[in-house]
């Protein structure tokens, strides 16, 4: 682990937002990028479908803006969406110049960029790389570009375990080893002008998620613990089509398959989306996810009752009619994964079900990445600028990381906060016993299952309250271990997931309407009179939710 005692800028997270910010920051200072595993292991790396960007001039940009705003179901913060779509083309052109290679027509590598379509996009504008490995290519190219920069250092297999606040400003961070050989190595404190949290989402809060194991919401929880406000935490996007095979992780089956013409069929073989939305399989993501859930539960399209614990094993994705498409070339990664389980996209129906995918909410920031806590900045999935409103437009997240990663870095440079040495070292900790580690694993599994059952696609007051009781019990058991001065990577992750779940549950209870990804069985309608607003969690440190218009 890097044992620097100070650095100009500390970036937590090595996905697209963190790496893009690091490149910008390194123009004027020394940067330390801290990541819990290797640089390649981020949510960015697993993004399949692509990056949405309007490269064809003003009209194209205006259409991208309208699609983004429409998908967000009334509460997209328009200035954020304007920044995203208008700065996006420059950021993507820059990325290509730095070595990212997107798929093009022909074999020469010099043809026109290929573009595909996904749900709620009015035209094909999604660039992709190596078929279905867009995130991996963006992550590879940005990391390669950052690695040769002398002012950027990486602390891999390292966790940020705390933010040090003095006189109302973040002045330092505590780092601890996070690798398998971490043992009882000591944490250490590093002074810094400012910290950027770009540590991604928190899909692991749910038992069913497309997110990798590292997505435990650490950055969001640390910010909240240090006193920063969170926003829109009730809006968790459930991807409609994760692989649904017993004992197999919820591997993402990209929306780009539906963009290329795949159908969704229920257990009777019917293309059921015609009963739910005129855009059929390319309807907004929240509509498709709930339709799959309802078909899986055998409920009628407009039913609002039924178990909130959704079981959608009976729904399938069907590409068997797409004879002219070379499916294995277009989707090599997905084809290879399915082949390991005896499935072939060209031949078989693929069982799918929704899974937690993307948090629209997060650490509340302005358009320049500033949080409510001086010295602390956030970008990418960990942040909430309001750009996605209640439902993110497909493939807008990689673009968000590029645009707002660069913006946050520019404001960290502009603010140019002084280095203030923290006056105490990081507190020591004791390792957990084997039994305590096992207890933490049980607590995590229970929390994940209860969040899926009680705060998933379909919610209502009674179940949200059950979820809150389960989360509070989990939080209390974790706190007991922490109070004894115990610490481990899994304990820190469990505390982060519990804190994020707490914010989701409170925010979901407070929004007594249905909008975008947040659906309440007991309030099935949108209520614009009361809720054309963003939720703010923990203003002033209290576990309470306020609503405000942006
Ligand atoms: C997908 O490929 O379906 C995921 C893309 C996204 O979440 O934007």
CB-based contact 371:229 (threshold 8 Å): yes
Confidence of residue 428 (pLDDT cuts 50, 70, 90): confident
The atom of ligand 1 lying closest to the CA of 255 is 3
| Average pLDDT of span 457-469 | 96
298: how many CB neighbours lie within 10 A of its CB?
Answer: 12
Residue 148, classed as helix, strand or coil, is: coil
Q: What is the C-alpha to C-alpha distance for residues 307 and 296, in angstroms, rounded to an integer?
A: 11
Per-residue pLDDT at 298 exceeds 60: no
State whether the beta carbon of 48 lies less than 6 angstroms from ligand 1. Answer: yes
Question: Could you tell me what percent of the chain has a pLDDT over 70?
Answer: 96
CB-based contact 200:43 (threshold 8 Å): yes
Q: Half-sphere exposure of 402 toward its Cβ, with a 13 Å CA cutoff?
A: 28
CB-based contact 129:104 (threshold 8 Å): no
408 Cα: distance to centroid of ligand 1 (angstroms) = 24
pLDDT at 181: 64
Per-residue pLDDT at 1 exceeds 60: no
The atom of ligand 1 lying closest to the CA of 394 is 8
Candidates 121, 209, 239: which one to mutate for ligand 1, based on the most atoms within 8 Å of Cβ? 239
**Which structure tokens are listed for 330?**
């277009």
- More confident of the two residues 535 and 110: 535
Q: DSSP per residue over 342-367, as a string? A: T--TTTS-EEEEEEEEEES-EEE--T
Per-residue pLDDT at 303 exceeds 90: no
Highest average pLDDT, of 427-441, 489-503, 534-548, comes from: 489-503
Q: What is the C-alpha to C-alpha distance for residues 361 and 545, in angstroms, rounded to an integer?
A: 13
**Which structure tokens are listed for 214?**
């590292």
Tell me if the pTM is above 0.75. yes
Cα–Cα distances in angstroms (integers) from residue 127 to residues 100, 106, 145, 211, 550, in the given order: 11, 15, 20, 21, 31
Identify the residue whose C-alpha is closest to ligand 1 atom 2.
Answer: 49
Q: What is the C-alpha to C-alpha distance for residues 550 and 532, in angstroms, rounded to an integer?
A: 9
CB-based contact 169:195 (threshold 8 Å): no
Per-residue pLDDT at 333 exceeds 70: yes
Supply the residues annotated as catalytic. Answer: 285
CB-based contact 297:306 (threshold 8 Å): yes
Per-residue pLDDT at 302 exceeds 60: no
pLDDT at 380: 98
Instruction: Indicate the DSSP class of residue 281.
Output: G
149: how many CB neighbours lie within 10 A of its CB?
Answer: 14
């Amino acid at each position: 682990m890097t044992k620097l005692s100070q650095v100009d800028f500390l970036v937590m997270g090595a996905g697209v937002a963190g790496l893009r910010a690091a490149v910008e920051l390194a123009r004027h200072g020394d940067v330390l990028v801290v990541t819990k595993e290797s640089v390649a292991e981020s949510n960015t790396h697993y993004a399949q479908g692509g990056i949405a960007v309007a490269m064809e001039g003003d009209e194209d940009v205006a259409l991208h803006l309208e699609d983004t705003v429409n998908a967000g179901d009334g509460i997209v913060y328009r200035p954020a969406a304007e920044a995203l779509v208008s700065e996006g083309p420059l950021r993507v052109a820059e990325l290509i110049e730095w070595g990212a290679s997107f798929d093009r027509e022909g074999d020469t590598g010099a043809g026109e960029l290929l573009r595909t379509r996904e749900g709620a996009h009015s035209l094909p504008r999604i660039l992709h790389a190596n078929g279905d490995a867009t995130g991996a290519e963006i992550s590879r190219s940005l990391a390669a570009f950052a690695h040769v920069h002398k002012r950027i250092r990486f602390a891999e297999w390292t966790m940020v375990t705390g933010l040090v606040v003095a006189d109302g400003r973040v002045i330092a961070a505590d780092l601890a080893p996070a690798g398998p050989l971490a043992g009882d190595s000591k944490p250490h404190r590093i002074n810094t002008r400012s910290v950027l949290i770009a540590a991604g989402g928190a899909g692991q809060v749910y038992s069913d998620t497309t997110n990798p194991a590292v997505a435990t919401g650490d950055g969001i929880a640390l910010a909240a613990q240090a006193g920063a406000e969170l926003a829109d935490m009730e809006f968790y996007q459930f991807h409609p089509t994760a692989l649904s095979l017993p004992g197999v992780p919820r591997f993402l089956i990209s929306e780009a398959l539906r963009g290329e013409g795949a159908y969704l069929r229920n257990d009777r073989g019917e293309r059921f989306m015609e009963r739910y939305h005129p855009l059929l399989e390319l309807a907004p993501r929240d509509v498709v996810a709930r339709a799959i859930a309802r078909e899986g539960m055998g409920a009628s399209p407009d039913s609002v009752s039924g178990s909130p614990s959704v079981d959608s094993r009976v729904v399938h994705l069907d590409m068997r009619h797409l004879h002219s498409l070379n499916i294995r070339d277009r989707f090599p990664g997905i084809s290879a994964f399915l082949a390991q389980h005896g499935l072939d996209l060209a031949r078989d129906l693929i069982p799918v079900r929704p899974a937690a995918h993307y948090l629209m909410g997060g650490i509340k920031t302005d358009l320049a990445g500033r949080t409510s806590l001086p010295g602390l900045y956030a970008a990418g999935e960990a942040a909430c600028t309001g750009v996605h409103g209640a439902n993110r437009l497909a493939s807008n997240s990689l673009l968000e990381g590029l645009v707002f990663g660069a913006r946050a870095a520019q404001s960290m440079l502009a603010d140019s906060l002084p280095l203030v040495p923290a006056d105490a070292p990081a507190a020591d900790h004791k390792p957990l016993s084997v039994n305590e580690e096992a207890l933490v694993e049980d607590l995590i599994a229970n929390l994940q299952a209860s969040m899926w059952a009680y705060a998933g696609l379909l919610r209502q007051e009674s179940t949200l309250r059950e979820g809150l009781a389960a989360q509070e019990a989990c939080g209390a058991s974790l706190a007991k271990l922490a109070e004894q001065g115990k610490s481990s990577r899994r304990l820190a992750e469990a505390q982060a997931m519990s804190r994020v779940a707490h914010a989701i549950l409170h925010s979901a209870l407070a929004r007594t309407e249905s909008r975008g990804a947040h659906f309440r069985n007991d309030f099935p309608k949108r209520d614009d009179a009361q809720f054309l607003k963003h939720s703010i969690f923990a203003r002033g440190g209290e576990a309470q939710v306020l609503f405000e218009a942006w």
